[in-house]
Structure 1
């Protein structure tokens, strides 16, 4: 059962674990989504996992996001850093409140970008990440060491929003930061599809099962 508990620092939904040993997932929606958007995806990706799904605290034309931008693909990097710190604090609160292990982030688009930033700025916050249609969140991130944490980047070969060079640069940043990186480019656009679900589910089972 989903519990719409909002007594932590971010409005969120929480689904308790129903399978022992299933890793918790931190679900991070895209622009215009909310705390309910990715709950069905989380249940399909890792059945039985606890799901924590916060709502982005920034509004763009009434649409929730996790950080500000000045144009498509042009990020307010000071705000990225601020919001990543806020998300890291929320993760710490949620872990204590719900008695959770370090979660795996599953982010789509804007949610993938804030997850990538959190991995770079606070490597200890997450156990790993699934980044679907992610872009480089920080042009000059600090040196970081993920110590072999698993990261999956799923890019779209026909994505009109994320240039292939940008996705490749993000992959290089994670490789330089010590991630156990898998980067796949799918024959699709920016939208989330069945291929993403299949690959991410298999990768999660292999990396954390």
Structure 2
């Protein structure tokens, strides 16, 4: 795969663990670097930019409208992202079995898509404001994977039923899921980043 297919940033910290940082709609490959530093300052960072354009805004897959996703685009882009992570592991020399997704909004949904469609790519991760991106053809084997989801009770962009369906699939697949809810909406909070940092602190170096 050509590096040019995913514009990205690689931060090598000599760690056995790597964060795959996945921005929200309109973001870039640099958006989540500070959040990665907050969550797991010793981990390597691989931060790609989404390949899909919605007007001037980058995304990780197409949509028809708010909460209405193009499932063929999800499948195509999740497969491409999985291939990119495998390529990057070889190019940069990080352990492909210890990659943890950190995604916000659209980035959280592509991270969820990797877990549901390409479960060997991620060892787990933190999904901020995720919802169910699509129904997988079968329940994936997620045993041994740790997943933290954080959603807002007043988040109109991530409907409760869709979030709960994602939780159900993750649990059915055997993931060690911690589902956190806060009283706010779609925006990130300092409290959840602090919680996430504590969660990542439980991962061995």
TM-score bracket, normalised by the shorter chain, equals: over 0.9
Contact residue 116 and residue 136 of structure 2 kept, 8 A: no
Query: Mind listing any 5+ residue stretches in structure 1 that lack a counterpart?
Result: 1-5
* 1:110 lines up with 2:106 in the alignment: yes
Mapped partners of 1:117, 1:110: distance in 2: 10
Q: TM-score, normalised by structure 2?
A: 0.94
Q: Note if 1:152 corresponds to 2:141.
A: no
Distance 1:89 1:8 in 2: 13
Find the aligned partners of 1:156 and 1:165 in 2 and give their Cα distance: 13
CA contact (8 A) 1:17 1:24 kept: no
1:208: how far off?
Answer: 4.5
Find the aligned partners of 1:207 and 1:176 in 2 and give their Cα distance.
Answer: 23
Q: Pick from 24, 34, 42: which aligns with 1:30?
A: 24
User: What is the RMSD of the two structures over their aligned residues, measured on CA atoms?
Assistant: 1.4
Cα displacement string for residues 60-100 of structure 1 (whole angstroms, at most 9, x for unaligned residues): 01100000000100000111011000000010011111111
Aligned to 1:46: 40
The number of residues matched between the two structures is 202
Cα distance in 2, alignment partners of residues 129 and 122 from structure 1? 14
* TM superposition score normalised by structure 1: 0.92
Which structure 1 residue ranges, 4+ long, deviate > 4 Å from structure 2? none
> Are 2:126 and 2:148, in contact at CA under 8 Å, matched by a contact in 1?
yes
Are residue 189 (structure 1) and residue 185 (structure 2) matched? yes
In 2 relative to 1, CA 141–110 (structure 1 residues): closer, same or farther, beyond 3 Å? farther
1:1-209 superposed matches below 5 A: 7=3, 9-17=5-13, 20-21=15-16, 23-102=17-96, 103-208=99-204
Distance 1:86 1:53, change over 3 A: same
Q: Name stretches of at least 5 consecutive residues in structure 2 with no aligned partner.
A: none
Deviation readout 1:77-130 (Å, 9 max, x if unpaired): 111011000000010011111111231000000000000001111111111111
